[in-house]
Amino acid sequence: MPINYYIFLALALFSIGIVGVLTRRNAIIIFMCIELMLNAVNLLLVAFSKMHYLKNAAADAMTTAGTDGQLFVFFIMVVAAAEVSVGLAIIVMMYRNIHSVDINFLNRLKH
C-alpha cells in the first residue's frame, strides 16, 4: 500500500480527535478523544515501520529494520494504559467534588 494512504488516514483520525477535544465538554469524552489521537499515531508508526522494513528487505532478507517502530507502539500503549488509570482516577475525584464532569466548571486555573 502507498504510505501516503496511511498518512492521510492517520491524519484524519488525529484531526477527528482534535475536533472532539475542542467541541465536547464531557471530560470522559475528551479523554477518549485523546486515546483516539494516540491510536492514530500508533497506526502511523506501524505503517512507517513496515515501510522501513520494505526498504531494507530489498538488500537483506533477514533484516530487522522497523522493529524499533513497533516496539515504540508497544511502549506508547504501556504509557497510555498508565495514563488512563491515573486520568480516570482524577475524573472520579473531580466528579466526587463538583458532581459533574463538565470541564467548564474547571476554571480554577484562573484564580
Partner 1 sequence: MQNVLQIVYLIPLLPLIGFLVNGLGRKHLSKSMISVIGCGTILASFVLSIWVFLQVKGGNTHVADYFNFISVGALKIPFALQIDQLSSLFLLIITGVGFLIHVYSTSYMQEEKTEHFGRYFAYLNLFIFSMLLLVMGANFVIMFIGWEGVGLCSYLLIGYWFKKQDYNKAANKAFIMNRIGDLAFLIAIFWLIAKVGSVSYTEVFSAANLAKLKATDITIITLLLFIGATGKSAQIPLYTWLPDAMAGPTPVSALIHAATMVTAGIYMIARSNLLYSMSHITMDIITYVGLATALLAATIALKQNDIKKVLAYSTVSQLGFMFLALGCGAYTAAVFHVMTHAFFKALMFLGSGSVIHAMGGEQDIRNMGGLSKKLKITFITFLIGCIAIAGIPPFSGFFSKDAILLSAFEKSPVLYGIALFTALLTAFYMFRLLFITFTGKFRGTQEQEHHLHESPVSMTVPLIILAVLSIIGGFVGIPEVFMHGGDKLGEFLSPVIASHDGHKVSHSTEYMLMGLSTGLVIIMIIFAWIKFKNYQRSEATGFGKVLENKWYVDELYESIIVNPLNKLGSFFSSIFEKSVLDDMVNGVGKMVNYGSRQMRLLQSGQVGNYVLLMVVSMVIIFVIQFFLRK
Partner 2 sequence: MNITQILFWFLSVVAIFSALMVITSKNPVYSVLWLIATFFAISGHYILLNAQFLAIVNIIVYAGAIMVLFLFVIMLMNLNKETEPQKNRWLKMAGAVAGGCLLLVLVAALKDTDIKQQQALVNEGNIGLIKNLGKELFTKYVVPFEISSILFLSAMVGAVVIGKKE
State which residue, 73 or 101, has the beta carbon closest to partner 1.
101
Residue listed under C-alpha cell 537483506:
60
By CB under 8 A, name the binding residues for partner 1: 18, 21-22, 25, 103-104, 106-111
State which residue, 79 or 106, has the beta carbon closest to partner 2.
79
108 binds, among partner 1, partner 2, none (CB under 5 to 8 A by kind): partner 1
Which residue among 59, 85, 109, 111 contacts partner 2 (CB under 8 A)?
85
Tell whether residue 107 is a contact of partner 2 (CB under 8 A). no
Residue 104 CB, shortest distance to partner 1, in Å, is 6
Question: Are 103 and 27 within 8 A, CB to CB?
Answer: yes
Query: How far is 109 from 98, CA to CA, in rounded Å?
Result: 15
State which residue, 96 or 111, has the beta carbon closest to partner 1.
111
